[in-house]
Structure 1
Amino acid sequence: MSEAVASADTRREPTAEEFIEMRDSQEFGRLRSAYRSFTFPMTVAFFVWYVVYVLAAVFAPDFMGIDIGGGWNVGLVFGLAQFVTTFAITWVYVRYANKKIEPLAADIRQKLEG
């Protein structure tokens, strides 16, 4: 039997009261705060960046159509930057979560499951 399966068998199932108690605890508040302090600002920033891209495409087609050479224009570069930004945010979030969120979640999990 693998160690992962064996450790899963030794975990205890927390009661509903324990879940409620943990939900109301300062520990869970810190976890929620750590998650929100990254996701809310990053979501707003990316949404603004996306809306600027869309609005520029709609209301500034001459700007977006500026040729920058090699068959590339400003609109194409901005569009590709959307993908790059998405991957960059994902990479930064994974690093942030591993450093800030996962230790808090693991501590809560350990306290609930033993």
Structure 2
Amino acid sequence: MTVQHDSSVYERIQASQQFGELRRRYRSWAFPMTVAFLAWYLLYVVLSGFARDFMGTKLIGNINVALIFGLLQFASTFLITWAYSRHASSKLDPLAEDLRRKAELEGAVK
């Protein structure tokens, strides 16, 4: 069964304190993490371009600093994804689910 929603339902929810809290929780995690990741990535790019001797330093056999930094880029991406998943399921999803339920109830009543 599909429920038709009046746009005013969504406007009321968007204006609610609960929606503001959901947005605040998301932004307080996503923005700093995005800045941190972009800084980490930029460090890798800058070092690769301007610190060639450092990045070319061999650590073990033919494995150099640049290869380790490159692999750490992948590791940090997966780590951030895992951390966001945990954050979303504990802090965002319950609030979003409650808002969705309210939207459905308000839409069904009208």
- Say yes or no: TM over 0.5: yes
The one-character-per-residue Cα deviations of 1:46-93 (angstroms, maximum 9, x if unpaired) are 000000000000110000000001310000000110000000000000
RCO comparison, higher one (Cα < 8 Å, 6+): 2
Partner of 1:93: 84
Moved over 4 A (4+): none
Find the aligned partners of 1:105 and 1:13 in 2 and give their Cα distance: 19
| Equivalence for 2:55 | 64
How many residue pairs get aligned? The number is: 105
Task: Tell me the residue number matched to 2:71.
Answer: 80
When the two structures are superposed, what TM-score results if normalisation uses the length of structure 2? 0.92
1:21 corresponding residue in structure 2:
12
In the superposition, the TM-score normalised over structure 1's length comes to 0.89
- SS of 2:72's equivalent in the other structure is helix
Aligned match of 1:6: none
Mark the runs of 5 or more structure 2 residues left unpaired by the alignment.
106-110
Return the alpha-carbon distance in structure 1 between the equivalents of residues 63 and 24 of structure 2.
42
Q: Does 1:41 align with 2:41?
A: no
Task: Please provide the CA RMSD for this pair.
Answer: 1.0
